[in-house]
Amino acid sequence: MERCICSIPVIRLIGTEPLQQVTTMRNDKLVNILQQRSSGILLPVFSLPGSWGIGDLGDAARAFIDFLGRAGQSSWQILPLGPTSPVFGDSPYMSFSTFAGNPLFISPEDLVQQGLLQDGDIEAEAFSEYTVDYPRVTAAKTRLLRAAWAVFRVRLDAAATLAVFCADHPWAAGHGLFLALKDRFDGAPWYQWPEPLRHRQAAALAEPGRGREEAFGAGVGECAEGRSGRGDLALGLQAVGQTELR
């Protein structure tokens, strides 16, 4: 898949011009850009430069936001940020979740800064600079995320942090379990799973080992949220200057 395509979501840069209307939703400010003359640039996140075969919401994203601010731009137009699937050609418009972020957009370098990986863990392979090889990228980044999860889960505050995260994001635990089950059944759609799981029978969901699978999914979500104490938007994108996700 080529690394350029059109988009709908917008990251709004605050402070570049007077705001005429601001509303509040889930404690985040939303700017009504339809009532305000402005300009911006379209750049899908996966088109950002990076060492892992796909753009992510790390240093390159923050540098691009800084560039937009210096250029007097007001918006960064992007593609949907949800997880993709090879079943649908990794199209960002065909996601398994409305709420979850794409784990491929997590920056390995940010995980190092958070103490979840070591510098030696992120020695990148040789990837194309022009196209995204999704099977290779997914395998490489999944390996890193599992390594980061292994570090996170033994921290003294891991259980409490996950509990808070799942309470703040009620969809997270169910989404993690859903993805773990899809992996267990080789990507088969949910309606082809055993009937007890299709109907979410309590005994089937409580089967030994299922909790660990669910915890991994929630842990990926925790990494994706980027809770490093430095402020975050989506998928660990830290607030650089003054930004917000619309």
Q: Which pLDDT does position 111 carry in this prediction?
A: 93
- Mean of per-residue pLDDT scores for the chain: 76
**Largest Cα–Cα separation, the chain:** 57
Q: What is the pLDDT of residue 105?
A: 94
Please give the Cα distance from 230 to 199 (Å, whole number): 41
Lowest mean pLDDT: which of 31-40, 71-80, 103-112, 168-177? 31-40
Distance CA 243, CA 75 (A): 9
Two tokens at 31? 């700017």
pLDDT of residue 223: 56
Over residues 76-83, mean pLDDT: 89
Instruction: Name 22's bridge partners.
Output: 31
pLDDT of residue 96: 84
As to burial, measured by CB atoms within 10 angstroms (0-12 exposed, 13-18 middle, 19+ buried), residue 21 is exposed
- With beta carbons less than 8 A apart as the criterion, state whether 54 and 131 touch: no
Tell me how far apart the alpha carbons of residues 160 and 109 are, in angstroms, rounded to a whole number. 25
d(CA 148, CA 107): 12
pLDDT in tens, 112-139: 999 999 998 888 788 988 999 999 999 9
Cα 114 from Cα 107, distance rounded (Å)? 11
Which pLDDT tens digit goes with each residue over 152-198?
A: 888 888 888 888 888 888 888 888 888 888 888 888 889 999 999 99
- Percent over 70 (pLDDT), the chain: 69
Q: State which H helix or E strand residue 40 sits in.
A: strand 40-42
pLDDT for the residue 7: 38
What is the DSSP track for 92-150? TTS-S-SSPPPGGGS-HHHHHHTTSS-GGGG------SSB--HHHHHHHHHHHHHHHHH
Lowest mean pLDDT among 88-97, 111-120, 236-245: 236-245
pLDDT for 222 equals 56
* Per-residue pLDDT at 43 exceeds 50: yes
Closest to 151 measured CA to CA, from 216, 62, 65:
216
Bigger pLDDT: 231 vs 93: 93
The Cβ of residue 153 has, within 10 Å, a number of other Cβ atoms equal to 14
Instruction: Round to whole Å and give the CA distance between 140 and 124.
Output: 9
pLDDT of residue 90: 93
Beta bridge mates, 191: none
The separation between the first and the last C-alpha atoms of the chain, rounded to the nearest angstrom, is 26
The SS3 of residue 155 is: coil
Judged against a pLDDT cut of 50, whether residue 6 lies above it is answered with no
Q: What per-residue confidence (pLDDT) applies to 209?
A: 60
215 or 67, which is more confident: 67
- Whether the pLDDT of residue 18 is over 60: the answer is no
Q: Once rounded to an integer, what is the mean pLDDT over residues 23-45?
A: 66
